[in-house]
Structure 1
Amino acid sequence: MKYFAVSALSLALLAACGPKPETAQTSPESAVETPAAPVAKLQYAPTKQGDVVDSYFETQVADPYRWLEDDRSAETGEWVKAQNKVTFDYLAQISYREQIKQRLTELWNYEKIGTPSKEGAYNYFSKNDGLQNQSVIYRQKEGAEPEVFLDPNTFSADGTTSLADLQFTEDGSLAAYAISEGGSDWRKIRIINAETKEQLETELVDVKFSGIAWKGNEGFFYSSYDKPEGSELSAKTDQHKLYYHKLGTAQKDDQVLFGATEAEKHRYVGAQVTDDGKYLVVTAANATSGNKLFIKDLTKADSTFITLDAEGSSDYQLVTSVGDKLYFETNFKAPNNRLIMIDATKPSQDQWVDIIPESKNVLSVSKGAGALFANYMVDAVSKVQQYDLDGKLVRDIQLPGVGSVGGFNGKTKDEVLYYSFTNYSTPGTSYSYNPKTGESAVYFKPAVKFNSDDYESKQVFYTSKDGTKVPMIITHKKGLQLDGTNPTMLYGYGGFNVSLTPRFSVSNLVWMEMGGIYAVPNLRGGGEYGKEWHNAGIQLKKQNVFDDFIAAGEYLIANKYTSNNKLAISGGSNGGLLVGAVMTQRPDLMKVALPAVGVLDMLRYHTFTAGAGWAYDYGTAEQSKEMFEYLKGYSPVHNVKAGVAYPATMVTTGDHDDRVVPAHSFKFAAELQAKAGGNNPQLIRIETNAGHGAGTPVSKTIEQAADAFGFTLFNMGVTALPAAK
C-alpha cells in the first residue's frame, strides 16, 4: 500500500509537500467594500542588524540578518514571538476573520475516503470524518465491518505528528510505517505485525528522504543521511546512504549498501524492489533532476550492482517487472518521457526496448492487473490510455470530465483498479475500473455542500515577454462580470519539473463562492510540456518564469478580470521564490503578496539542509561570476529597495521547516520591514511546531487559510462580508 510513498528524489523536490496558500475573495456583489482608509505605518518588532559581509568574486555583499539563521538561539526564538505578536494583533482587527474561519470549517467538514489497496486478507483505505487533524487508516475483510488499523491522531496530543509512509510485505503479514513530527523531513520508522498491530521492535530513527522497500519478510531498504552537526533542522545534509535493516537486529548494525564512500557520494539515493523480489533497483542523484540507475540481483548472495546509466542526466522510475524484464519510465532521449523495457540479463543501452514511445504530450505510467496505463498531460489536463505489457494499445479510457486523474495502480493479481478525478470545481471523486471491460463506476463521491454547476473554468493562452505562449486556467462563478473589479488570486510555481494540474480545494471554493477568481498559469520551469519546458526556466533562464507570471497578471488586468488593486499573488516553496521575485520586480502589479515557505536568499540557499540539490534549477553563487550576478539580480532578500511601496505582504513559514529553512522568510520579512515605503503592512506569520506543509493538521490548515483570506480581503478594502444566504 502506498499511503504517502514517493521516491527519495521526489521527496527532495521543493514542491512535493510545499503548502499552497489559497485565499478567499469577495466580489462587489457579495461584500461591503469601501476605499481603504489611510492608516499609519505599523510599528514592527525591532530586528537588529549585524555586520556580516560575504565576498563573491570580489563583490562585497552584506548579510545583516545572518543571526536569524540560528534556529536554536533564544534570541531568534524571541524574535519569532515578537513578530507573531505584531502579526496576530494586526489580524485580530479584521472583523470577519472568524466568519471566514467558520465557513471554511463548515465546508471542510465532509467525509473523505481514499481508494482501497489489497494487502493480504484485507482492503486498506484512508478515511477522514471531516475535521480530523489526520486521516485514519482502516482495513476491512470481505463482508466484514471496517476497523481502525492506524490512527495518526493518537500519535500526538496536538495532531502535529503525521503518517508519512506505510508499506506492507508482499503477503501483507508485516508493515512498516514512517511518522513525521512537527512537519519535519526527519522520520521514524515503526515495524508492526499487520494482523495484531503489535510493534515488533524498537523504531528506527533519523531517517530522511526515504521510501520503505521490503525484501520478502526478512527486512527492508531505506535511505538517510548521517545526523548533521549543529541544528538538525538547518544544517547541511549532503551524503545520502542506502541501508538494509534486517528484522530483529539493532539499527546501528544496519548494512550500508550504497553511498558509504566519498567516491559514491550522492545527495539523494532511493530504492525499489521488483514485485517478485528478485531485483533491487537503486537511483542515485546529486540534484533534483536526473539520476544514475543501478540494479542488483537479490537472489544471489554475492551479486554486485549492475550499472544501467552512470551519467545521471536523465530520470528513471521503475514501473513494473516480469522476471528479468524491468519497465522504466524515463526521459532518456525523450524529453516528454517514454516507457522502456530493460532485460536485466542484457542490460546494455543498445538492448533497451521502447514499450510506449515518446509522443508530443508528457507521459507518466502506472500499472495494475497486468496492464499499463499511460496518463498523458495535454495542456495540463489528463488523457489516459490502457496498454498491454508489449506496448499494444488496448483502449482510450473514458474519463468523467476535463481535469486531473491519478491512480490505476495495483498488483498484477488485482481484478479491479481505482482512480481519482478532480478539477477546480469537482471534489476528488474515486472510481473503480474493470481493466478487462474498460468500464468505470463511482466508488466514492464526497458530499461537499456546494453545487459545482455554479462554477466554470476556462483555459486561455497568453503571451509572455519573449513571445512564448503560456496556458492559464481561470476559474470563477458563472455569470461573473468582467469589469475589472473582481478580487483575483494568481497562484504559481514554475520550477523543478512540477506540473500544476486542476485540483479541487475547499479553500478555493470559499473564495469562489464569494465571487473571487482563481487563476493558475503553467509557467516555464514546470513540467507541463516536458523537459524542454522545465529547462526553459532554470539557472540563467529563471527570469522567464517571473516574466511568465507577470504576463499572467497583466493578462488578467487587460482583459478586465481584475485590476492592480484587486490582484493578489501567492505561491509556496519555489512558488514562494516566485512571489518574492515578482513583488520586488513589479510591486505596482498587485495589491497583496503571499509568499509561503519560500526560497528567498538565493546566495545561501544551498548551504542549508538538502538545498545543494536544487542547483540544477537555480545554480549557485559560487558557480561562476555570471551565475552569482544573475542570482543576486533577482534574489528577493537582496532586492528589497528602500522607500519602495511594496504590496501588502504576509510571509508565512513554519519553525520546523527543514526543507526550506525559515531563515529565508525571516530575512525577507526583516528587509521589508526595514526598507518598505508607504503604509502597506509587511508581516510574517510563523507557525510553531510545523514544517514545510506535509502532514499539517486540518485545524492549523483552516486557521492559516482564514488568516490569509482575511489579510487579503482587508487590504483590498473589504470592510465586511455579506450575511449568509
Structure 2
Amino acid sequence: MQSKIRLPFFLVIVAFVFSCTQQKGPSASDIQYPDTKKVDTVDTYFSTEVADPYRWLEDDNAKETEAWVKAQNNVTFSYLNDIPFRDEVKKTVKTLINHEKVSAPDKHGNYYYYYKNDGLQDQDVYYRTKDLESDKEEVFLNPNNFSEDGTISMAGTSFSNDGSLMTYLISDGGSDWRKAITLNTETKEVVGDTLTDLKFTGISWKGTNGFYYSSYERPKEGEALTAANKNQKVYFHEIGTPQSEDRIVFGDDIQRRGISANLTEDERFLVLSPWKGTSGNELYVKDLESPNSDFVQLVDNFENNHSIIHSEGNRLLIYTNLGAENYRIAETTIDNPKPKDWETLIPQKEHVLNSASSAGGYLFLNYLEDAKSKVQQFTLEGKHVRDIDLPAIGSAGGFGGESEDTELYYTFTSFTYPSTVFRYDIESGTSELYEQPDVAFDPDQYETKQVFYESKDGTEVPMFIVHKKGVELDGDNPTLLYGYGGFNISLTPSFSTRWMSWLEMGGVFAMANLRGGGEYGESWHKAGIKMQKQNVFDDFIAAGEYLKAEDYTNPEKLAIMGGSNGGLLVGATMTQRPDLAKVAIPQVGVLDMLRYHKFTIGAAWASDYGRADDSKEMFEYLYGYSPYHNLEEGTSYPATLITTADHDDRVVPAHSFKFAARLQEYHTGETPVLIRIETRAGHGAGTPTSKTIKQLTDIFSFTFYNMNEEPGN
C-alpha cells in the first residue's frame, strides 16, 4: 500500500509490517443475504407495464417487513463488526466529535439563550445567561433528560416578544411530527396544553395571548410515518385553552399542501406563504391592527419565491426572485401590495443573493460568489454601507436581529474552520471573536482548493477539494466525492466532523456544486430539474472523472456519497456508471421515482422531479433513471452500503428497502451490497451523538476496507 505523505524510511517499514500482519477481515463471498420474497405486483403507466415485486416492503407495520429489517441488519452488522480496523476508525471519529460546541446567542427578555454541547452529549443543551461576559449561566432545558436513549430532541424554539413565554418543539425518534410545549421562562413551569401532531411548522407568538402554527389532520393509527401530507392549515392557539379549541386561521377554504406562517417584528402583520412544492410560493398578509380585515393576497401563483424580511409602518420589504433569477430586494406598501406595484430597492447582481435579513435598522444581504459567502450591509433605503470582512473563504450566517439591536452574533465556518461565533457591532462594522471551539486537529495541515471542470454538455461546474498538505497526486488516494444537486439548495464550505474524520485518516474529500442546486440562481436550479435531471447525474459523473484524470484517485479508490436527493444522485450514478467508483453510499435516498409522491411530503418534490402520472413523456423520463427500476441483472455494482432509518418520515425507508432487495438479487460482483437500518432515528435531524459516531464509524470502515486501504496510511 503506497503512502500518500512522504514518511521517514523506518516508518514506511513499520507501516508495511503492520499491513502484512493485519487481521483478516470479512469476505463478501461469505455473505448470505436474507431471502426476500417477490410478489406479483404490476402497475401500468401509459400502456407500459412496470413490475414492482418488492412492493410489500412499503408496509412498515407488517411483521414480515420487521423480520426482513432484522435479518438485513444481522447480515450488515456482522460484516461491519468484523472489519479489523473498525475500533481505530471509531476512535478517530469520536476524538474529532468530542469538542465543545456553542451556538450564537439570541436575546429574549433579560436573558441570552444558546445551545451548548460538551462534546459527546447526545443532544445539545439549551443554556441562558443575563451577562455574556460572565461565567454565570444556567441550564434552561436539557433534552438529554427527555429520553433514556437520547432519541427525543429539541426541534425549534420561539419566544414571546417580551421573553416571558417560550414554546419549544420536540421530535421523537427523528420524526418530522412535533409536540409543542410552552414554558414560563421565569419559573420554567409548563403553561397550558401540550400541542401534538404538528408538522413542518414554526411558532409565531402574538403578544402573550397565544401563537400561530401550522399542521395537518391527525394521521390514522399506524400511518404517521407513511401517509401523504396534504392540505395544511394555520391555527391560532390561545394560552390556557385546550388544543381542541384552536381556531383555523387559514387553509379551510383555500387548501394548500403547506403554509408557512409568521409575524412581522412589530406583530402588526401576519404573513402567510402557501406552497405546493419545494420551489415557489403565494404570499398573503393580514393587518392584525384591523381585527376584521381579510387577508390581502400579494402573489397568486407558485412561479417564484418571496418572503417579507422587514416592515415599517405600511412599508414592506420583500426578498424575491420575481423578475430577478439571482434575487433582489423589492419594496411596496400594504396599500399597493400587488407585484405590479413593487419597486426594486436593491437590484439583482451577478452573484445569487442567498439570503436577506434585517437587524439594528439595517439590511444584511448574503451573496454566494462561486458557493462562498460575501455579506453586505445596506440601509433600509437601499444604500450600500459596507462589505463585512469575513475571516476566510467560507460560509457565514446569522445576520438577523431586532430593530433596536446594536450588535448581532453571526457564525462562520469552512471545511477546515470549525463553526465559530463572532460579535458584530452594527454601526461600526467591526467583528470580534466571541466563541471558537477547540478541535483536535491542526487546520494548517490541510489545503482547500476550488476547481472548475467540464460536464458532459460543456457546462463548467465548480468543485471543492480538500486534503492534507503534501499529498501526492499519484492517482492512488482514497477519495470521497459528495454531492446533492437539487431543490435550489446550495452546498457551501462548512466544517463537519464527517469530512474531518475522513481527512484525518488520510482521505481526499471533494464536494461538487451540481446543477439543480442554488449556487448560481434559478437558472442553475432549473437546469437540473424534471426533464433536465440527467444534467445533475452527468455533472457528478464528470466530477469523478476529473478526480481520476487529475491523478487524485482511480476507480478502485473512489467512493461516492449523498443523502436524500443526494441518495438519488448516488443511486442513479451507480446504476448508470457502475464502473465509476469502488464504493457507493446512498443515504436515506429517493430511489423509486415512480411512487415517491405517494408518501408523506413526497408530492411536494414534484416541482423538482415531475410525476410519473403527469404525462407519458414525464413517466418515460423518470422510468429511464429511477435507481430502483434501472438495476440490471448480472451486473457488478460497487461495494454498496445503503443507509436509512425506521423513523424517516421524510424519505420513507421503503425506498431503500426495495432498492436493497433488488440490488442483492441482481448484483454479481465480489463486493458486498448491504443495507444499514438505524432504529429510533429519522432523516437526520436530531440524531443522537452516540448514533452519529456509530454511523460514521460503519460508513468509513466499510469504505476504507472495500478500497483495500488502511485508515491513516
Stretches of structure 1 that go unaligned for 5 or more consecutive residues are 1-24
What is residue 701 of structure 1 aligned with on the other side?
692
* Relative contact order higher in (CA < 8 Å, ≥ 6 apart): 1
What is residue 167 of structure 2 aligned with on the other side?
176
Aligned equivalents of 2:711 and 2:651: distance in 1? 35
Contact 1:463 1:470 in 2 (8 A): yes
What is residue 630 of structure 1 aligned with on the other side?
621
2:256 to 251, 262, 266: 266
Offset of residue 27 of structure 1: 4.7
Aligned equivalents of 2:245 and 2:26: distance in 1? 66
Q: How does 1:325-344 map to 2 (within 5 A)?
A: 325-344=315-334
2:126 to 118, 137, 140: 137
AA of the residue aligned to 1:485: D
Identity of aligned residues (%): 55
Task: Tell me if 1:474 matches 2:480.
Answer: no
What is residue 235 of structure 1 aligned with on the other side?
227
Q: 1:245-287 CA distances to partner (integer Å, 9 max, x unpaired)?
A: 11111111111111113xx221110111011110000000111
Aligned equivalents of 1:485 and 1:60: distance in 2? 45
2:380 to 389, 409, 416: 389
Task: Tell me if 1:288 matches 2:282.
Answer: no
Q: How does 1:12-91 map to 2 (within 5 A)?
A: 27=4, 40=29, 42-91=31-80
What is residue 679 of structure 2 aligned with on the other side?
688
Aligned equivalents of 1:72 and 1:260: distance in 2? 31
Q: 1:448-471 CA distances to partner (integer Å, 9 max, x unpaired)?
A: 111101101111100000000000
Q: How does 1:113-132 map to 2 (within 5 A)?
A: 113-132=102-121
Task: Tell me if 1:351 matches 2:341.
Answer: yes
Task: Tell me if 1:279 matches 2:269.
Answer: yes
Identify the range of structure 1 (672-681 vs 487-496) with the bigger mean alpha-carbon deviation: 672-681
Offset of residue 98 of structure 1: 1.4
Gap change, CA 1:38 and 1:65, over 3 Å in 2: closer
Aligned equivalents of 2:426 and 2:379: distance in 1? 10
Aligned equivalents of 2:292 and 2:3: distance in 1? 67
Contact 1:87 1:683 in 2 (8 A): yes
1:646 to 637, 645, 663: 637
Offset of residue 227 of structure 1: 2.0
Q: How does 1:463-502 map to 2 (within 5 A)?
A: 463-502=454-493
Offset of residue 414 of structure 1: 1.2
Q: How does 1:592-671 map to 2 (within 5 A)?
A: 592-671=583-662
SS at match of 1:76: helix
Contact 1:26 1:515 in 2 (8 A): no
SS at match of 1:532: helix
Offset of residue 345 of structure 1: 2.0
Contact 1:241 1:258 in 2 (8 A): yes
What is residue 248 of structure 1 aligned with on the other side?
240
Gap change, CA 1:38 and 1:611, over 3 Å in 2: closer
Q: How does 1:102-113 map to 2 (within 5 A)?
A: 102-113=91-102
What is residue 209 of structure 1 aligned with on the other side?
200
What is residue 16 of structure 1 aligned with on the other side?
none
AA of the residue aligned to 1:516: G
Aligned equivalents of 2:245 and 2:408: distance in 1? 40
Contact 1:26 1:514 in 2 (8 A): no
2:427 to 423, 428, 436: 436
Offset of residue 507 of structure 1: 2.2
Contact 2:506 2:711 in 1 (8 A): no
Query: TM-score normalised to the size of structure 1?
Result: 0.94
AA of the residue aligned to 2:96: L
Contact 2:123 2:689 in 1 (8 A): yes
Give the aligned CA root-mean-square deviation in angstroms: 1.6
Following TM superposition, where does structure 1 have runs of at least 4 consecutive aligned residues deviating by more than 3 angstroms?
Answer: 25-39, 720-723
Offset of residue 311 of structure 1: 1.3
Gap change, CA 1:36 and 1:529, over 3 Å in 2: farther
Offset of residue 446 of structure 1: 0.6
Aligned equivalents of 1:615 and 1:335: distance in 2? 20
Offset of residue 195 of structure 1: 1.1
Gap change, CA 1:80 and 1:164, over 3 Å in 2: same
Q: 1:363-417 CA distances to partner (integer Å, 9 max, x unpaired)?
A: 1212211111111100000111110100000111111010111111111111111
Q: 1:611-659 CA distances to partner (integer Å, 9 max, x unpaired)?
A: 0010010000100011101101100000110110000000000000000
Contact 1:41 1:680 in 2 (8 A): no
Task: Tell me if 1:190 matches 2:181.
Answer: yes
Contact 1:293 1:312 in 2 (8 A): no
2:362 to 368, 371, 384: 371
Aligned equivalents of 1:26 and 1:178: distance in 2? 49
AA of the residue aligned to 2:55: R
Aligned equivalents of 1:36 and 1:582: distance in 2? 28
Aligned equivalents of 1:318 and 1:135: distance in 2? 31
Aligned equivalents of 2:522 and 2:229: distance in 1? 27
AA of the residue aligned to 1:122: Y
Aligned equivalents of 1:332 and 1:27: distance in 2? 50
SS at match of 2:691: helix
Aligned length: 696
Identify the range of structure 1 (365-374 vs 138-147) with the bigger mean alpha-carbon deviation: 138-147
Contact 1:53 1:62 in 2 (8 A): yes
Aligned equivalents of 1:305 and 1:360: distance in 2? 35
Aligned equivalents of 1:349 and 1:409: distance in 2? 25
1:305 to 285, 295, 306: 295
Offset of residue 28 of structure 1: 7.8
Gap change, CA 1:28 and 1:651, over 3 Å in 2: farther
Aligned equivalents of 1:561 and 1:221: distance in 2? 52
Query: TM-score normalised to the size of structure 2?
Result: 0.96
SS at match of 2:43: strand
Gap change, CA 1:109 and 1:241, over 3 Å in 2: same
Task: Tell me if 1:542 matches 2:533.
Answer: yes
What is residue 554 of structure 1 aligned with on the other side?
545
Aligned equivalents of 1:48 and 1:41: distance in 2? 21
SS at match of 2:39: coil
Contact 2:461 2:539 in 1 (8 A): yes
Gap change, CA 1:295 and 1:715, over 3 Å in 2: same
Aligned equivalents of 1:26 and 1:548: distance in 2? 30
